[in-house]
Amino acid sequence: MKVAVVGVTGLVGGVMLKVLAEHKFPITELIPVASARSVGKQIHYKGKDYTVVSMDDAISQCPDIAIFSAGGNTSLEHAPRFAAVGTTVIDNSSAWRMHDDKKLVVPEVNAHVLTEADKIIANPNCSTIQLVVALAPLHKKYGIKRLVISTYQAVTGTGVKAVQQMESERNGTDANMVYPHPIDLNCIPHGGNFGEDGYTSEEVKLVNETRKIMGAPDIRITATVVRIPVYGGHSESVNVEFERDFDLDELRTLLEEFPGITVQDDHENNVYPMPLFSQHKDDVFVGRLRRDFSNPKSLNMWIVSDNLRKGAATNAVQIAQHLMEHKLLRQSSEILNT
């Protein structure tokens, strides 16, 4: 496979290279792509140095796959250009997620929707990915009626400048303020931009993307997004109201047997998911499973995952692996020759 990584010098782009190597993705030719100011820089991948190229150079090489992590405007402008030369684009921005004609995919949940005709595939928001992985087996068995979600999101989800703000505050040096308030020793209930209804864009993403991925437009969902001063690993407190009642032991087994989930649920020994221990791992960690005694047929659960890996890079690579394994990639060279 000839693979382009767009936004390769960014936070997610670097993790993307690590995941591609760890998953032994069969790259015969790597094309690292970044903005004009990074063209000519060197990146390292599997013992070899590569020169970062421009978008135009990458498109002219007709890669089989282009994995984007370069922002929504970049994706809107350039993803169709890659698709036009036969490249299958997997986009990590929010640009295409809610387009009716674009698939929004978490492989463990809805990879079956993908076809060879899908040339631009959307990677969901990091918080949505871990949420739907944990909910998918439960929805299939019990039917989800309503979700109340509170997220506790790492600064890496905002980007490298947010990490620098937190580190500057910890070091007592002048900080370039990415957030409207200090983030170290603080929690900021603000993710994205506020709408007229008081909800933020990150909260709206959780609602809309969850419904789309799970094919369940009628699930009632409300969300509150909070940014917390940790480097990596998003956490979510989720209250789930089901259509049908559940047995807690059976529910725990469903989670344990579902691909991509690790259950950590032993409160007697203080075993539960935490962001510190989710870092650099691909799984979604689930724990604090308990019946909600205040509401019939309802469950409380705690979900944690590395937002740069499963929440971004790993999910994108898994989409690419699915396309390859199910022969849904028509190589761009074939398209150009027809």
Q: 191-238, pLDDT tens digit by residue?
A: 999 999 999 999 999 999 999 999 999 999 999 999 999 999 999 999
Sign of CA dihedral 305, 307, 311, 316: negative
Query: 15-69: per-residue pLDDT in tens?
Result: 999 999 999 999 999 999 999 999 999 999 999 999 999 999 999 999 999 999 9
Q: Are strands 48-51 and 42-45 parallel, antiparallel or unpaired?
A: antiparallel
**Average pLDDT of the chain?**
96
Q: Give the span between the Cα atoms of 248 and 254, in whole angstroms.
A: 10
Sheet containing 29-33, strands listed edge to edge, beginning at the edge strand earlier in sequence: 29-33, 2-6, 65-68, 88-91, 120-122, 103-104
Q: Give the span between the Cα atoms of 165 and 173, in whole angstroms.
A: 9
Domain boundaries, the chain: 2-95+313-336, 127-307
**Is the predicted pLDDT of residue 137 greater than 90, yes or no?**
yes
Domains 2-95+313-336 and 127-307 equal at CATH topology level: no
Q: Give the span between the Cα atoms of 41 and 34, in whole angstroms.
A: 9
What pLDDT, on the 0 to 100 scale, is given for residue 336?
A: 47
Q: Give the span between the Cα atoms of 4 and 122, in whole angstroms.
A: 16
Catalytic residues: 126, 234
**Block residue for tokens 């796959």:** 65
Kindly report the length of the chain.
338
Q: Give the span between the Cα atoms of 52 and 29, in whole angstroms.
A: 13
Q: Give the span between the Cα atoms of 162 and 175, in whole angstroms.
A: 10
Pick the CATH number of 127-307 from 3.40.50.720, 2.60.40.10, 3.30.360.10, 3.55.10.10: 3.30.360.10
Q: Residue 330: which pLDDT band, with cuts at 50, 70 and 90?
A: low
Residues with Cβ within 8 Å of 69's Cβ and at least 6 positions away in sequence, in order, are 5, 6, 7, 10, 12, 13, 16, 92, 93, 312, 313, 316
Closest by Cα among 186, 183, 180, 155 to 169: 183
DSSP state of 74: H
What CATH number does the domain located at 2-95+313-336 have? 3.40.50.720
Beta-strand runs (E) in 135-199: 144-153
Q: Residue 329: which pLDDT band, with cuts at 50, 70 and 90?
A: confident
The two structure tokens encoding residue 286: 């689930």
Helix (H, G, I), strand (E, B) or coil at 28: coil
pTM value is 0.96
What pLDDT, on the 0 to 100 scale, is given for residue 35?
A: 92
What are the percentages of helix, strand and coil residues in the chain, rounded to 5?
Answer: 35, 25, 40
The two structure tokens encoding residue 37: 């100011």
DSSP state of 100: T
Closest by Cα among 131, 151, 160 to 311: 131
